[in-house]
Amino acid sequence: MPKSLIVITGPTAVGKTDLCLSIARHYDVPVINADSRQIYRELKIGTAAPTAEQQLSVRHYFVGHKSVHDYYNASMYETDALQLISRQHSDSDVALLSGGSMMYIDAVCKGLDDIPTVREDIRTSLRQRLSTEGLAVLLDELRQADPDYYATVDRQNYRRVIHALEICQQTGRPYSTFLTATGKERPFRIIKIGLNIDRDLLYERINRRVDAMMAQGLADEARSLLPLRHLNALATVGYKELFCHFDGMWTLDEAVERIKGNTRRYARKQLTWYKRDADIRWFAPNDIQAIINHINLCLQES
């Protein structure tokens, strides 16, 4: 039987964790996490990371194995995940990966462009300039250095703007020249399962989950991380809104409503991203038997 990777994805709060536990038990395999923020051990509540009980029930990889102080990106994840999948395939014909971070999933399934790792002095300098000079100045610099990427980049996303400038400065080449978008061959078959539900129900689940996070102590978790707010890992929905509350910009209720709204916005962004991938087969998260039947059918194909 060919080696296979089952990928389970879908928008935030749709029910990936519970479904994955069932799939992992059925095929007797661990879960490889593809959520870019659950990787950080300090971000438990705000990322809805699998609980200690869930991780005892089914082994999870790449959950809480890095600190927010550590630099980590999708390219590094691609290398780490592929090595782990290779080890898993030495023991089993099946590996299971699950998460909602679109770029991390693409990194494993399609591969990323070979973009150089940025020197720390360049990264630090540009982040300082963002604070002192503002995004508009850096955008104008990007327009001159790489007009092709400038024409397509989300100009409100300062992280993408800065990253493009980092590459331009380090290499002397436009960032866009590194973006070949050519898929890499993988030595395993990929079976993609997408989970989705009615939009209103998804939004209701998001709102309930944010309320549950607050009840579990999200505000205290965010306050403990306030001195680290400058770190890239903390530029995350749930934390950045509470940081603004601590600054006196919003009441706690206003911050919570903004968390809900920004989480709903992120879910829409995820669904838009997934529409580009015709390989995803869509199911409701409670269609466990239909999902298993589909996976088994794919596994039987030579």
* Region 43-58 average pLDDT: 97
Q: Which tokens go with 274?
A: 């997934």
State the pLDDT confidence band at 302, using cuts at 50, 70 and 90: low
> Phi then psi for 181, rounded to 5 degrees?
55, 35
- CA–CA separation, 244 vs 265, rounded Å? 19
User: Is 120-178 the same fold as 4-113+182-300?
Assistant: no
Q: What is the DSSP letter of 75?
A: H
State the pLDDT confidence band at 181, using cuts at 50, 70 and 90: low
- Residue 287 pLDDT > 90: yes
Residue by residue, DSSP assigns 224-284 as HTGGGTTSGGG-STTTHHHHHHHTTSS-HHHHHHHHHHHHHHHHHHHHHHHTT-TTEEEE-
* Region 259-268 average pLDDT: 96
Residue ranges covered by each domain of the chain: 4-113+182-300, 120-178
CATH number of 4-113+182-300: 3.40.50.300
Identify the pLDDT of residue 100.
94
Identify the pLDDT of residue 264.
96
- Residue 174 pLDDT > 90: yes
4-9/189-195 β-pairing: parallel
CA atoms within 13 A on the CB side of 130: 20
CATH class given for the domain over 120-178:
mainly alpha
Identify the pLDDT of residue 1.
74
- pLDDT, tens digit, 9 for 90 and up, residues 196-246: 999 999 999 999 999 999 999 999 999 999 999 988 899 899 999 999 999
